[in-house]
Structure 1
Amino acid sequence: MVLLVAGLFVQLDAVAAQSLLRLDNADFAVSESSVLPAESPLWRSTVLPHRSDRPVGQDLTGYWYRLTFDAQDISQPLWLLFPKLRSGGSVYVNGLLVGKISEADAATQRRWFRPFMFIAPPVALRPVGNEIRVHFRIREPLTSFGEVLIGPEQSIRSMYDRLLFWENTVTEVAGILCLIVGALTMLIWVRRRHESLYGIFSACALFWGVRTLVFRMPEVTMDHWVAWRFTYYFTTAGFIVFITLFLLRLSQCVKPVIERFLVAYWFGGCAVFLAIGVAARPAMDAWWTLGFLPFNFYSVLVLLLYARRTRTPSALAMLAAIVFAFALALHDFAVQHGLFGLEEFYLLHLGIPAFLLVMALILLERFLKTLELADSMQDQLAARLADRERELLRSHERLRKLERLNAIAGERQRIMENLHDGVGAQLITSLMLVKGGRAGQSDMINLLQDCIDEMRISLDSLATEDDDLLSMLENFRARISPRFSAIGLKLQWTDNTLPDSASIPPQCSLQILRVLQEALANILKHAQAANVLVSVGMEGESLVISVKDDGVGIDPSIAVKGHGIGNMRNRAERIGGSFAISGSDSGTTVRLSVPLSTPTQMVD
Structure 2
Amino acid sequence: MAAPGLMRAWCALVLLLAAWAASAGTLPIHSGHVAPGAHAQDDAHAEWRPVSLPDHWGRMRRSGVWTYRIDLGPCPAAPAGCRQAGPTGLAIPRAGSRLELWVNGHLAAAFGSVRDTGPQAGEEHSLHPIWVDISPALLRPQGNELRIVVSGGRGLLPGLSRIYWGPAAEVRPLHLARERVVVGGSVAVAWLSAMFGAAGLTAALAARRSVRPAAWLFTLCAFMWSARELMRLSLDLPGLTFEPRFAGMSLALGFTVLCGALLLLRLLQMHRRWQPPVAAAMGLVGLVLAWAYLGGRADGQRLLQWLQAVQVLATLTAPAAFWHWWRQRNPANAWLAAGCIGISGLGVIDTWRLYLTSDPMGYEHLRLTSYMAIWLLIAISAAAFIRINRAMHLEAVHKQELEREVQAQRVELEALHARERERVAATAVDAERTRIMRDMHDGLGSQLVGLLSTVQSGDYTREELAREVREAIDQLRLTIDTLEPLGDDLSSLLGQLRFRLEPRLRRVGIRLDWQVGELPGGERLGAHGLASLQRLLFEVFSNVIKHARASLVTVYAAHQGWNDANQIVIADDGCGFDPQAAHAGRGLENMRERARQMGARLEITAADGAGTRVSLLIGSPEAA
Query: Is the TM-score greater than 0.5?
Result: yes
Q: 2:557 aligns with which of 538, 548, 567?
A: 538
Q: 1:117 aligns with which of 131, 136, 151?
A: 131
Go from structure 1 to structure 2 and tell me whether the alpha carbon gap of 1:292 and 1:116 turns closer, same or farther (over 3 Å shift): closer
Work out the CA distance in 2 between the residues paired with 1:540 and 1:282. 96
Work out the CA distance in 2 between the residues paired with 1:300 and 1:444. 112
State the 1:454 CA deviation. 1.5
Q: Does 1:160 align with 2:203?
A: no
Aligned sequence identity (%): 19
| One-letter amino acid of the counterpart of residue 511, structure 1 | L
Partner residue in 2 for 1:107: 118
User: Does structure 1 retain, via aligned residues, the 8 Å contact 2:71–2:145?
Assistant: yes
Q: Does 1:580 align with 2:607?
A: no
Q: 1:548 aligns with which of 572, 582, 588?
A: 572
Q: 2:91 aligns with which of 69, 74, 81?
A: 81
Partner residue in 2 for 1:36: 42
Structure 2 unaligned blocks of 5 or more: 1-5, 79-83, 561-565
Go from structure 1 to structure 2 and tell me whether the alpha carbon gap of 1:49 and 1:88 turns closer, same or farther (over 3 Å shift): same
Work out the CA distance in 2 between the residues paired with 1:584 and 1:273. 110
Please give the secondary structure, in 2, of the residue aligned with 1:591: strand
Q: 2:52 aligns with which of 47, 50, 53?
A: 47
State the 1:518 CA deviation. 1.6
Partner residue in 1 for 2:512: 493
Q: Does 1:430 align with 2:447?
A: no
Work out the CA distance in 1 between the residues paired with 2:411 and 2:321. 50
State the 1:146 CA deviation. 2.0
Work out the CA distance in 2 between the residues paired with 1:15 and 1:116. 20
Partner residue in 2 for 1:411: 432
Deviations 1:36-62 (A, max 9, x none): 35x9964444332222469999x8424
Deviations 1:21-48 (A, max 9, x none): 53333333333244135x9964444332
Work out the CA distance in 1 between the residues paired with 2:350 and 2:431. 94
State the 1:418 CA deviation. 0.5
Partner residue in 2 for 1:517: 542
State the 1:448 CA deviation. 2.6
Partner residue in 2 for 1:91: 101
Please give the secondary structure, in 2, of the residue aligned with 1:562: helix
| One-letter amino acid of the counterpart of residue 117, structure 1 | W
Work out the CA distance in 2 between the residues paired with 1:9 and 1:308. 42
| One-letter amino acid of the counterpart of residue 61, structure 1 | V
State the 1:476 CA deviation. 1.8
Go from structure 1 to structure 2 and tell me whether the alpha carbon gap of 1:214 and 1:163 turns closer, same or farther (over 3 Å shift): same
User: Does structure 2 retain, via aligned residues, the 8 Å contact 1:245–1:259?
Assistant: yes
Q: 1:218 aligns with which of 235, 241, 262?
A: 235
Go from structure 1 to structure 2 and tell me whether the alpha carbon gap of 1:67 and 1:539 turns closer, same or farther (over 3 Å shift): same
Partner residue in 2 for 1:562: 584
Cα-Cα RMSD: 4.7
Q: 1:327 aligns with which of 345, 357, 366?
A: 345
| One-letter amino acid of the counterpart of residue 611, structure 2 | T
Work out the CA distance in 2 between the residues paired with 1:287 and 1:508. 93
User: Does structure 1 retain, via aligned residues, the 8 Å contact 2:200–2:215?
Assistant: yes
Go from structure 1 to structure 2 and tell me whether the alpha carbon gap of 1:288 and 1:590 turns closer, same or farther (over 3 Å shift): closer
State the 1:544 CA deviation. 3.8
| One-letter amino acid of the counterpart of residue 149, structure 1 | Y
Go from structure 1 to structure 2 and tell me whether the alpha carbon gap of 1:495 and 1:158 turns closer, same or farther (over 3 Å shift): farther
Work out the CA distance in 2 between the residues paired with 1:273 and 1:472. 100
User: Does structure 2 retain, via aligned residues, the 8 Å contact 1:91–1:133?
Assistant: yes
User: Does structure 2 retain, via aligned residues, the 8 Å contact 1:502–1:596?
Assistant: no
Matches within 5 A, 1:324-403: 324-337=342-355, 339-340=357-358, 341=360, 342-344=362-364, 345-403=366-424
Go from structure 1 to structure 2 and tell me whether the alpha carbon gap of 1:557 and 1:471 turns closer, same or farther (over 3 Å shift): closer
User: TM-score by structure 1 length?
Assistant: 0.77
State the 1:168 CA deviation. 3.1
State the 1:111 CA deviation. 1.3
Deviations 1:256-297 (A, max 9, x none): 89998888788779978988988886688689937965x667
Please give the secondary structure, in 2, of the residue aligned with 1:493: strand
Q: Does 1:137 align with 2:154?
A: no
| One-letter amino acid of the counterpart of residue 148, structure 1 | I
State the 1:424 CA deviation. 0.9
User: Does structure 1 retain, via aligned residues, the 8 Å contact 2:439–2:479?
Assistant: yes
Work out the CA distance in 2 between the residues paired with 1:376 and 1:440. 89
Partner residue in 1 for 2:162: 147
Go from structure 1 to structure 2 and tell me whether the alpha carbon gap of 1:564 and 1:443 turns closer, same or farther (over 3 Å shift): farther
Please give the secondary structure, in 2, of the residue aligned with 1:80: strand
Please give the secondary structure, in 1, of the residue aligned with 2:613: strand
Please give the secondary structure, in 1, of the residue aligned with 2:512: strand
Deviations 1:171-199 (A, max 9, x none): 25525654664576477568656456556
Work out the CA distance in 2 between the residues paired with 1:56 and 1:502. 102
Work out the CA distance in 1 between the residues paired with 2:591 and 2:306. 106
User: Does structure 2 retain, via aligned residues, the 8 Å contact 1:186–1:202?
Assistant: yes
| One-letter amino acid of the counterpart of residue 519, structure 1 | V
Partner residue in 2 for 1:63: 67
Work out the CA distance in 1 between the residues paired with 2:579 and 2:383. 97
User: Does structure 2 retain, via aligned residues, the 8 Å contact 1:80–1:150?
Assistant: yes
Please give the secondary structure, in 1, of the residue aligned with 2:425: helix
Partner residue in 2 for 1:449: 470
Go from structure 1 to structure 2 and tell me whether the alpha carbon gap of 1:543 and 1:161 turns closer, same or farther (over 3 Å shift): same
When structure 1 is superposed on structure 2, of 414-423 and 507-516 the one drifting more is: 507-516
Go from structure 1 to structure 2 and tell me whether the alpha carbon gap of 1:472 and 1:197 turns closer, same or farther (over 3 Å shift): closer
User: Does structure 1 retain, via aligned residues, the 8 Å contact 2:505–2:512?
Assistant: no
Q: Does 1:507 align with 2:527?
A: no
Work out the CA distance in 2 between the residues paired with 1:53 and 1:539. 108
Work out the CA distance in 2 between the residues paired with 1:287 and 1:439. 125
Q: Does 1:592 align with 2:606?
A: no
Work out the CA distance in 2 between the residues paired with 1:362 and 1:389. 39
When structure 1 is superposed on structure 2, of 340-349 and 411-420 the one drifting more is: 340-349
State the 1:459 CA deviation. 1.9
User: Does structure 2 retain, via aligned residues, the 8 Å contact 1:27–1:66?
Assistant: yes
Go from structure 1 to structure 2 and tell me whether the alpha carbon gap of 1:338 and 1:18 turns closer, same or farther (over 3 Å shift): same
User: Does structure 1 retain, via aligned residues, the 8 Å contact 2:16–2:174?
Assistant: no
User: Does structure 2 retain, via aligned residues, the 8 Å contact 1:207–1:239?
Assistant: yes
Deviations 1:375-411 (A, max 9, x none): 4445544554455455445444444443333222222
| One-letter amino acid of the counterpart of residue 307, structure 1 | W
Q: How many residues align structurally?
A: 583
Structure 1 unaligned blocks of 5 or more: none
| One-letter amino acid of the counterpart of residue 111, structure 1 | E
Work out the CA distance in 1 between the residues paired with 2:290 and 2:507. 122
Deviations 1:406-451 (A, max 9, x none): 2222221111110000111122233344455555655544333322
Please give the secondary structure, in 2, of the residue aligned with 1:218: helix
Work out the CA distance in 2 between the residues paired with 1:11 and 1:101. 28
User: Does structure 2 retain, via aligned residues, the 8 Å contact 1:204–1:238?
Assistant: yes
Please give the secondary structure, in 1, of the residue aligned with 2:95: coil
State the 1:132 CA deviation. 3.4
Work out the CA distance in 2 between the residues paired with 1:261 and 1:556. 94
Please give the secondary structure, in 2, of the residue aligned with 1:346: coil
User: Does structure 1 retain, via aligned residues, the 8 Å contact 2:235–2:245?
Assistant: no
User: Does structure 2 retain, via aligned residues, the 8 Å contact 1:171–1:212?
Assistant: yes
| One-letter amino acid of the counterpart of residue 325, structure 1 | I
Q: Does 1:474 align with 2:498?
A: yes
